[in-house]
């Protein structure tokens, strides 16, 4: 029933809503889950693949000094910027 509804939604001009989620499954079930995801037409990414994509898409040269980065971290952690002078 769900497969028929999914095929009808794909054929129609309606856009299917998607939701990203993380599932913690045993290593022994990963192969089964990948096959299941492929049959359902879902995209499957491991944590390593997500991390590699994140690193690849981040800027390599940032115009911030180490001190400016630390000030920003302190502002988030402690709610204010601390002077080290």
Question: Token pair of 43, please?
Answer: 């995209």
What pLDDT is recorded for position 39? 95
Question: How does the average pLDDT of the chain come out, rounded?
Answer: 80
Residue 13 predicted with pLDDT over 80: no
Residue with tokens 């990414």: 45
- This prediction has a pTM of 0.43
- Tell me the per-residue pLDDT of 23-61, one tens digit each, with 9 for 90 and over: 888 999 999 999 999 999 888 888 888 889 888 988 888
- Cβ atoms of residues 73 and 66 within 8 Å: no
Mean pLDDT on 3-17: 59
Percent of the chain with pLDDT over 70: 75
């Amino acid at each position: 029933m769900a497969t028929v509804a999914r095929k009808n939604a794909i054929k129609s001009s309606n856009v299917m809503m998607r939701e990203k989620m993380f599932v913690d499954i045993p290593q022994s079930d990963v192969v089964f889950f990948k096959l299941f995801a492929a049959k359902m037409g879902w995209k499957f990414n491991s944590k390593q693949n997500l991390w590699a994509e994140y690193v690849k898409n981040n800027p390599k040269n940032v115009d911030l000094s180490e001190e400016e980065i630390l000030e920003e971290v302190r502002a988030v952690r402690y709610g204010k910027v601390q002077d080290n002078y």
